[in-house]
């Protein structure tokens, strides 16, 4: 184990927090247990981080890099022997390059701050999700986060042109390329993006940007059938001229639960339908965009695809609609033991899959407290959540749902990653040969296994 005094000599006295102080804070956003760790080091630059990792490598000291600790898979869960590393001091954001449409940022920069900095220069950073105010660039890249706008701009991986990271032994790999085309050997950045801090520590990135849209149009639509939902997604992708940026589905049980909890039961759409879609388009010509949006939604109603719809007429109404989709506080109270699944499935199999989960839960887990299904339909990504009064039975629910996902050729993790929570289920989505290859890479890049040990594989 490293001596914290040696760590202090590298990063400075004030940039080390000891284990006793850390035990006063929760493990992460979701787990309210005290943090267990040897200490937390906050290097001020890549040179200090490199020296710190070289020391940890020499001493076989296990380390976990943490960002905003908002991940949902216990990816930063530590033990009393772990040295935590935070890159919060590496949070600089450069001046966006308007011609090249790029910006360089440190891994500790907060996602929302990057969004705001780029927006000030008329540019859009195409990554957005509920934890934007706490999650860091390093965390978002390490989990290859998705979110609300992946439909239009892609996932975290698609935002990155160049990357700098530090290997377990302190070696710095810096390729801060700002080019869309750069075929110079193996594209190493993609090894580190999505590897959840197990292969290296990401310190900076050059990010791809887009012109910031000037207009936003939002609608909540109700549907009688899933088939009509899928057809409407295709029609909106085609007819909105590429401006569709979100297409979020909510099954009735979740929608009405949140309407009751957040809006005292005053639904923006009267009646009860099996499926609701919150969709949004973002464009560059306010009047023309609004007219086109209204026309496309209107046509879907005329054709009998959409049963009812409301188009937000103010930013306040837009926020209210998004709140129904984004707010999970009431759900967290409803499910004392929450069991959530973040899965990818072919859109064609989603309805049957959800029906199967509902039937199996009803038959095999009678104590379940309900089934909330929502997700980023445009990306083939569903979030399926159920709850129990106590943790017993949690493993049974997981086994049941993961088996069903395998049967539908789905992925057990669409955007949240594997961490510790899903590690034992990885074989449902990846073959033995693939997992063996992951282990070869891990052994090559981190031979002593000091980086986020026990996570992913």
Residues that bind ligand FAD (CB under 6 A): 29, 64-72, 75-76, 87, 107, 129-131, 135-136, 138-140, 142-143, 145-147, 196-197, 201-202, 415-416, 452
Q: How far is the CB of 379 from ligand FAD (least distance, A)?
A: 10
Q: How far is the CB of 348 from ligand FAD (least distance, A)?
A: 23
148: CB partners within 8 A, 6+ apart: 128, 129, 245, 246, 248, 376
Q: How far is the CB of 231 from ligand FAD (least distance, A)?
A: 25
**Residue nearer to ligand FAD on the CB measure, 28 or 282:** 28
Q: How far is the CB of 70 from ligand FAD (least distance, A)?
A: 3
Q: How far is the CB of 276 from ligand FAD (least distance, A)?
A: 18
**Residue nearer to ligand FAD on the CB measure, 305 or 455:** 455
Instruction: Report how far residue 275's alpha carbon sits from residue 138's, in angstroms, rounded to the nearest whole number.
Output: 35
* Nearest residue relative to ligand FAD (C-beta): 139
Q: How far is the CB of 199 from ligand FAD (least distance, A)?
A: 8
**Residue nearer to ligand FAD on the CB measure, 107 or 300:** 107
**Residue nearer to ligand FAD on the CB measure, 52 or 145:** 145
**Residue nearer to ligand FAD on the CB measure, 96 or 106:** 106
Q: How far is the CB of 156 from ligand FAD (least distance, A)?
A: 7
Helix runs in 135-266, H state only = 137-142, 150-153, 189-192, 226-239, 252-263
- The alpha carbon of residue 428 and the mean position of all alpha carbons in its chain are separated, in whole angstroms, by 20
Q: How far is the CB of 197 from ligand FAD (least distance, A)?
A: 3
Q: How far is the CB of 226 from ligand FAD (least distance, A)?
A: 22
Q: How far is the CB of 76 from ligand FAD (least distance, A)?
A: 5
Q: What is the 3-state secondary structure (H, E, C) of the chain?
A: CCCHHHHHHHHCHHHEEEHHHHCCCECCCCCCCECCCCEEECCCCHHHHHHHHHHHHHCCCCEEEECCCCCCCCCCCCCCCCEEEECCCCCCECCCECCCCEEEEECCCEHHHHHHHHHHCCEECCCECCCCCCCEHHHHHHCCCCECCHHHHCCHHHHEEEEEEECCCCCEEEECCCCCCCCCCCCCHHHHCCCCCCCCEEEEEEEECEECCCEEEEEEEEECCHHHHHHHHHHHHHHCCCCEEEEEEEEHHHHHHHHHHHHCCCCCCCCCCCEEEEEEEEECCHHHHHHHHHHHHHHHHHCCCCCEEEECCCHHHHHHHHHHHHCCHHHHHHCCEEEEEEEECCHHHHHHHHHHHHHHHHHHCCCCCCEEEEEEHHHCEEEEEEEECCCCCHHHHHHHHHHHHHHCCCECECCCCCCCCCHHHHHHCCCHHHHHHHHHHHHHHCCCCCECCCCCC
**Residue nearer to ligand FAD on the CB measure, 31 or 60:** 31
**Residue nearer to ligand FAD on the CB measure, 68 or 410:** 68
**Residue nearer to ligand FAD on the CB measure, 307 or 455:** 455
In the numeric block, the tokens 């290296």 are attached to 200
**Residue nearer to ligand FAD on the CB measure, 72 or 250:** 72
**Residue nearer to ligand FAD on the CB measure, 129 or 153:** 129
Q: How far is the CB of 301 from ligand FAD (least distance, A)?
A: 29
Instruction: Report how far residue 436's alpha carbon sits from residue 439's, in angstroms, rounded to the nearest whole number.
Output: 5
- The alpha carbon of residue 311 and the mean position of all alpha carbons in its chain are separated, in whole angstroms, by 27
**Residue nearer to ligand FAD on the CB measure, 46 or 216:** 46
């Amino acid at each position: 184990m490293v001596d914290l005094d040696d760590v202090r000599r590298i990063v400075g006295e004030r940039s080390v927090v000891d284990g006793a102080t850390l035990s006063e804070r929760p493990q992460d956003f979701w787990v309210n247990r005290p943090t267990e760790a040897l200490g937390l080091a906050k290097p001020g630059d890549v040179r200090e981080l490199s020296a710190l990792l070289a020391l940890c490598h020499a001493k076989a000291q296990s380390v976990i890099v943490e960002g905003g600790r908002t991940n949902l898979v216990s990816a930063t869960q530590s033990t009393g022997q772990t040295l935590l590393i935070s890159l919060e001091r590496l949070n600089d954001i450069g001046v966006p390059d308007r011609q090249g449409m790029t910006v360089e940022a440190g891994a500790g920069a907060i996602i929302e701050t990057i969004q705001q900095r780029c927006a000030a220069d008329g540019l859009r950073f195409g990554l957005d999700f509920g934890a934007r105010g706490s999650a860091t660039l390093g965390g978002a890249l390490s989990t290859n986060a998705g979110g609300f706008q992946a439909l239009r701009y892609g996932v975290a991986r698609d935002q990155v042109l160049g990357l700098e990271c530090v290997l377990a032994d302190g070696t710095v790999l810096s390729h801060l390329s700002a080019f869309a085309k750069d075929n110079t050997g193996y594209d190493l950045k993609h090894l580190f993006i999505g590897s959840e801090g197990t292969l290296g520590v990401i310190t900076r990135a050059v990010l791809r940007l887009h012109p910031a849209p000037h207009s936003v149009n939002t609608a909540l639509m109700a549907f009688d059938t899933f088939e009509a939902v899928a057809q409407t997604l295709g029609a909106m992708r085609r007819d909105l001229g590429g401006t569709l940026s979100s297409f979020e589905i909510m099954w009735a049980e979740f929608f009405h639960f949140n309407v009751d909890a957040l809006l005292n039961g005053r639904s923006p759409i009267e009646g009860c339908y099996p499926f609701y879609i919150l969709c949004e388009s973002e464009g560059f010509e306010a009047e023309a965009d609004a007219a086109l949006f209204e026309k496309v939604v209107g046509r879907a109603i005329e054709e009998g695809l959409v049963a009812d719809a409301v188009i937000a007429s103010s930013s306040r109404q837009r926020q209210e609609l998004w709140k129904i989709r984004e707010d999970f506080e009431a759900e967290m109270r409803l499910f004392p033991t929450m069991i959530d699944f973040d899965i990818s499935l072919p859109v064609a199999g989603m309805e049957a899959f959800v029906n199967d989960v509902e039937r199996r839960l009803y038959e095999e887990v009678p104590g379940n407290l309900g089934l909330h299904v929502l997700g980023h339909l445009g990306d083939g990504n569903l979030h399926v959540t159920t709850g129990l009064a106590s943790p017993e039975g949690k493993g049974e629910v997981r086994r049941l749902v993961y088996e069903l996902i395998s049967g539908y050729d789905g992925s057990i993790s669409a955007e949240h990653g594997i961490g510790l929570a899903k590690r034992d289920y990885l074989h449902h989505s990846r073959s033995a040969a693939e997992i063996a290859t992951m282990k070869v890479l891990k052994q090559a890049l981190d031979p002593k296994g000091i980086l986020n040990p026990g996570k992913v594989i």
